[in-house]
């Protein structure tokens, strides 16, 4: 199948999930994850209308950026090392994986503008996953206040790769409740209105549970 056909298929599933949850389709941003594909495929994705591109590794992001440049909005969705912040900070639109003050400090020191960031939360508690525990999130956000170029726009999580729909819903709901708790604090540096959650295998469930940004890779390139 072509990339444009895959996009239409994903959008159709999104519309069904929105209808089920009584949500507006326009509230949701598709981030096309291009970590396993060529520059040519990433270009096709952008040309087909998916202009938000997600990359996990700094080197790969910069490699694709050389060709695609400002035709796309660049989302960094992988673990970001403090020493690599300087390499990508001028190119990125959003960071989805902030979970260390050392990274926030580097963003503040290296960026020429305010950077929108999601705080990564390890809701499921899996040892293989990065992110803060739910209990650490609000104290972390309070600490980030000292860095004026870091704007916390929401929370991000990766659900377990399982088929148990209720367990997936539980993870997504917990992130939604935590987002509401942060929002209620009315931090000036952390409006925290967004939820980055849901991937190729579970994005329809994430949408039903309130996702505003979904990270889709394999379903766009099958």
Pick the CATH number of 3-221 from 3.20.20.10, 3.20.20.150, 3.65.10.10, 2.160.20.10: 3.20.20.10
Q: What is the pLDDT of residue 127?
A: 84
Q: Is pLDDT of 1 > 80?
A: no
State pTM to two decimals. 0.96
| pLDDT > 70: percent of the chain | 100
- pLDDT per position as a tens digit, 141-179: 999 999 999 999 999 999 998 889 999 999 999 999 999
What residues does each domain of the chain span?
Answer: 3-221
Round the average pLDDT of the chain to a whole number and report it.
96
- pLDDT per position as a tens digit, 104-146: 999 999 999 999 999 999 999 888 889 999 999 999 999 999 9
User: 3-state secondary structure string, the chain?
Assistant: CCHHHHHHHHHHHHHHHHHHHCCCHHHCEEEEECCCCCHHHHHHHHHCCCCEEEECCHHHHHHHHHHHHHHCEEEECCCCCHHHHHHHCCCCCEEEEECCHHHHHHHHHHCCCCEEEEEEECCCCCCCCCCECHHHHHHHHHHHCCCCCEEEEEEECCCCCCCCHHHHHHHHHHHHHHHHHHHHCCCCCCCCCEEECCCCCCHHHHHHCCCCEEEECHHHHC
- pLDDT per position as a tens digit, 180-194: 999 999 999 999 999
């Amino acid at each position: 199948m072509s990339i444009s056909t895959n996009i239409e298929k994903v959008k159709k599933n999104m519309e069904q999930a929105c209808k089920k949850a009584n949500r507006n389709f326009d509230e949701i941003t598709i981030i096309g994850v291009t970590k396993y594909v060529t520059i040519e495929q990433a270009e096709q994705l952008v040309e087909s209308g998916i202009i938000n591109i997600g990359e996990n590794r700094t080197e790969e992001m910069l490699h694709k950026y050389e060709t695609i440049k400002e035709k796309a909005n660049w989302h960094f969705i992988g673990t970001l090392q403090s020493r690599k912040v300087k390499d990508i900070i001028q190119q990125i639109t959003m960071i989805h994986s902030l979970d260390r003050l050392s990274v926030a400090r580097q963003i503040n020191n290296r960026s020429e503008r305010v950077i929108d960031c999601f705080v990564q939360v390890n809701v499921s508690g899996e040892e293989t996953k990065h992110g803060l525990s739910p209990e650490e999130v609000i104290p972390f956000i309070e600490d980030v206040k000292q860095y004026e170029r870091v704007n916390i726009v929401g929370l991000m999580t990766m659900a377990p790769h399982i088929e148990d729909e209720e367990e997936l819903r539980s993870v997504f709901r917990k992130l939604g409740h935590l987002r509401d708790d942060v929002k209620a604090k009315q931090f000036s540096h952390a409006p925290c209105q967004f939820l980055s959650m849901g991937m190729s295998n579970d994005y329809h469930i994430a949408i039903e549970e309130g996702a505003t940004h979904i990270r889709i890779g394999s379903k766009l390139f099958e």
